[in-house]
A and B are shown apart, each in its own frame.
Chain A
Amino acid sequence: MLQIRNLHVAIGGKPILKGIDLTIHPGEVHAIMGPNGSGKSTLAQVLAGRDGYDITAGSVQYLERDLLPLTPEERARAGIFLAFQYPLEIPGVANVQLLRTALNGQRRSRGEAEMDAIDFLDYVKDKLALLGMDDSFLYRSVNEGFSGGEKKRNEILQMAVLEPRLAILDETDSGLDIDALHLVADGVNSLRRPQRAIILVTHYQRLLNFIVPHQVHVLAGGRIVRSGGRELALELEAKGYAWLSEEISDAADFMETYL
């Protein structure tokens, strides 16, 4: 469903991603871990279509089409969803207004009928319950004054409403208390479908106890330096990134010498 090949991305002339290869099939869950500043959010934002990144080499195929020329809204309508590491506050735009405008925008683009306010409310209330959020969140401005954990839950609420094909969750588990972590994990698990794929960016293997990934990748210095199964996360937790640092610097030496 997603093929990233040799993706190189720079910001203002500074290379951040230096050759990412990643293939994801429908139904799979992939975890991406890695040190701070290694490029995890950059990869997530590039997939969602954010401006300001220079794609200097490589390609991204999504559902048999070239993803990179699409606008952010076209990608969203094709089923890509990014839960932001730092969700934005939008004063004056009510949460319910964002949710309904977004859902109806997507439905329109698929040739489906728009949902009216009443049907939408029924629809969204089930999703709220799933995430243990009360109705008042609908009428507050998007993320304005939300606690850190509430913002993360609100991202998952948006995901639950939009029902994407490919969800990219950028550190959605960071800053969640243990109960909220359960709620978010349940929310994500309830959305797992054979045709849906999930990328989890996380620093903590704890999340992976709840949402069990098919593969774990370690992103360091702009490259995927190791991929493995569930046990890779446990190993990382036990040993830190230091035990990979030899490979990382080897890889860097290799690149510098030969490329």
Chain B
Amino acid sequence: MMRRYVIIGSGAAGVAAAETIRTLDASGLIWIVTADPDGYYSRPGLAYYLTGEAAREQLYPLPNHYWKELGLRWHVDEVERVDPEGHRLVMKGGKDLPYDRLLLATGAKALLPDTPGINLEGVLKLDTLEDADRLLKLARRGQHAVVVGGGITALELAEGLAARGMHVHYFLRGDRFWSGVLDETESRMVERRLQHDGIFLHYNTNLVEVLGRGGRVSGVRAKTGDDACEMACSVVAVAIGIRPRKELAEQAGLLVGRGIRVNQCLQTSHPDIFAAGDAAEVLDPRSGEYVLDSLWNPAIEMGSAAGRGMAGRMTPYQKLVPVNVTRLGGLVTTIIGQVAAKRDALLVDLDLPGIMRGDSEVFRQHPDAVVAQSLHDGSRLRLYLSGGRLVGALIMGEQALSRPVQRLVRSGEDLGELVPQLVAPGARLDEKLWEFVKN
């Protein structure tokens, strides 16, 4: 009999699973059920859609006929409930769908603070294409916008709104940007560039209330230290982190932690149900802890591994050292592995109580390591060395070393004589690394 595969979620993990299943099972029935009417698009690309660097239609990497060629069936609806014993799921629209193998690729959702007024029209987040469309509709040249939160998404919101001609006020609860991952020098480098682009930074500032008129945002009440203030604005953009969408798994009685708990083959505690992508919590072989990521490529890799398992070819997922390449205030920045500048990095970042998009909990691990850093030509290189190996790196600005360093961290290669050279006071890390990789 034909096997029935159902995938919940049309993101990177869900689509990668469908593609993989099709390569292994030419005749099986594959359903993608998704709550997102826009289907599959580049979510990291949303930031470039906001700045105008990418057109909306460009965010769809695959043409419509591709899905037909893959023989996929799409259904747009929200899944309300999964019944593991009955092997079926129930959708909000009332439809009932049976499955033999199920994938939960439900991603994560943006958190909103419980600040009074947070439900007013004009409070925005950046989670989906629909959110980005809404933001572009509300962004008005010459008007004021307030951004709260931390990390990459808050910057993307601030830069997108500024690119659309808004006067952007970025409220930071602490005294610097993204203190969980960047060190102080790096935070200041980014902040200076934001200010140069006309973004106003307000340090030690808490959003107290979003003020409204006729159901729409008209301003904010905030507190800087003990001083209260009010500011008029038409938009409040929020990025305080994300949470894995684990509700379906929880309600179905599957094992969950902070995300949906999976084994090495991405199987949940029920053998016919798999989970992958931002929703899943996987074992990090290096730290021995279950960790969350919100990264595009790991989501694809997890989706593929889960797809293989669903089609009967159980394959362990090899969790690589996480990498993200992003732009911070226009500075291209590569983050690899363990880079937290301080212990308890999550606690020190008041703007981000958990992880956010383009983030990994591994980035927040503070390695028991020696740090080496250098800064020149407006670029920054920070390396963490442990047991003769490179365990984390942050490269800001000039990116020529980014690929070789990524390879060194991922391979765990013994650096031998290079280590004392790197930690010598005043060492030019880039030169030493180039000599090493060229030999």
Do A and B pair up? The answer is no
Listed in ascending order, the chain B residues whose CB lies under 8 Å from chain A are none
